A and B are shown apart, each in its own frame.
Chain A
Amino acid sequence: MSKLTRRSFVKLAGGAAAVGLAAGGAPAIANSHKHHVIVIGGGYGGAIAAKYIRMADSSIMVTLIEQNQYYYSCPLSNWVVAGFRNLNVQKWGYDGLKGHGVNVVHEKATKIDPVSKTVTIASGKTFKYNRLVVSPGISFRGIEGYDESATHMMPHAWKAGPQTTQLAKQLKAMKNGDPFIMVAPPNPFRCPPGPYERASLVAHYLKKHKPKSKVLILDPKDKFSKFGLFTGGWKKLYGYGTDNSMIEWVPGGEGGKVTRVDAKSMKVYTDLDEFSSSCINVIPAQKANMIAESAGLTDDSGWCPVNLETFESKLHAGVYVIGDASAANGLPKSGYAANSEGKVCAAAVVASLRGKPVPTPSYVNTCYSMISPDYGISVAAVYKFDPAKPEKVHSVSGGLSPSDAPDFIRKQEAMYNESWYQSIMSDTFG
Chain B
Amino acid sequence: MQRRKIHMLVLASGFLAGGMMFGSSNAEAGATAEMLANTCAGCHGTNGQSGGPAMPTISGMPAEYMNSIMAAFKSGERPSTIMGRIAKGYDAKETALIAKFFAKQAWKSAESAPQSKNRTLINPKLASTGGKLVKKAKCGKCHEDDGMTQDEDTPRMAGQWVDYLLFKMQDLKNEHLAIPQPKKMAKRINKLSAFELEAIAHFYASKK
Contact = CB atoms under 8 A, between A and B. Distances in A.
Contact of B27 (A385, A398, A415, A425): A385
A397 B13 CA distance: 25
A127 interface: no
A386 B11 CA distance: 9
B53 interface: yes
B204 to A, nearest CB: 18
Nearest to A91: B117
Nearest to A383: B89
Report the interface size class on chain B.
35 or more
- Tell me which of A309, A343, A360, A361 has the highest count of chain B C-beta atoms within 10 A of its own C-beta: A360
A426 B50 CA distance: 8
Contact of A344 (B35, B42, B53, B86): B35
A363 B36 CA distance: 8
B85 A357 contact: no
A360 B31 contact: yes
Nearest to A335: B42
Contacts of A397: 85-89
Given A358-B26, A397-B88, A366 B82 contact: yes
A229 B54 CA distance: 23
B39 A364 contact: yes
A387 B14 contact: yes
B64 to A, nearest CB: 22
Nearest to A337: B42
B192 interface: no
A336 interface: yes
A360 B116 CA distance: 32
B114 interface: yes
Contact of B54 (A358, A388, A416): A416
A430 B35 contact: no
Nearest to A378: B82
B52 interface: yes
B176 interface: yes
B14 A423 contact: no
Contacts of A389: 14
Contacts of B72: none
Nearest to B16: A387
B169 to A, nearest CB: 14
B75 interface: no
Given A386-B14, A415-B167, A360 B27 contact: yes
B46 A426 contact: yes
Contact of A427 (B21, B41, B53): B41
A286 B66 CA distance: 42
B65 interface: no
Contacts of B19: 387
A396 B114 contact: no
Contact of B21 (A55, A360, A390, A429): A390
Contact of A336 (B11, B42, B52, B167): B42
Interface stretch (A106-114, A144-152, A401-409): A401-409
Contacts of A406: 176
Contact of A420 (B13, B52, B167): B52
B119 interface: yes
Contact of B43 (A366, A412, A413): A366
Contacts of B174: 408
Interface string B114-125: 111111000000
A344 B36 CA distance: 10
A84 to B, nearest CB: 12
A423 B35 contact: no
Given A359-B26, A423-B43, A381 B35 contact: no
B10 A388 contact: yes
Contacts of B163: 419
8 contacts: A55-B46, A309-B27, A339-B41, A398-B86, A399-B85, A401-B81, A413-B82, A430-B45
Complex A-B, nearest 8 residue pairs according to Cβ-Cβ distance, in ascending order: A382-B89, A388-B14, A426-B51, A430-B114, A387-B18, A419-B52, A397-B89, A423-B52
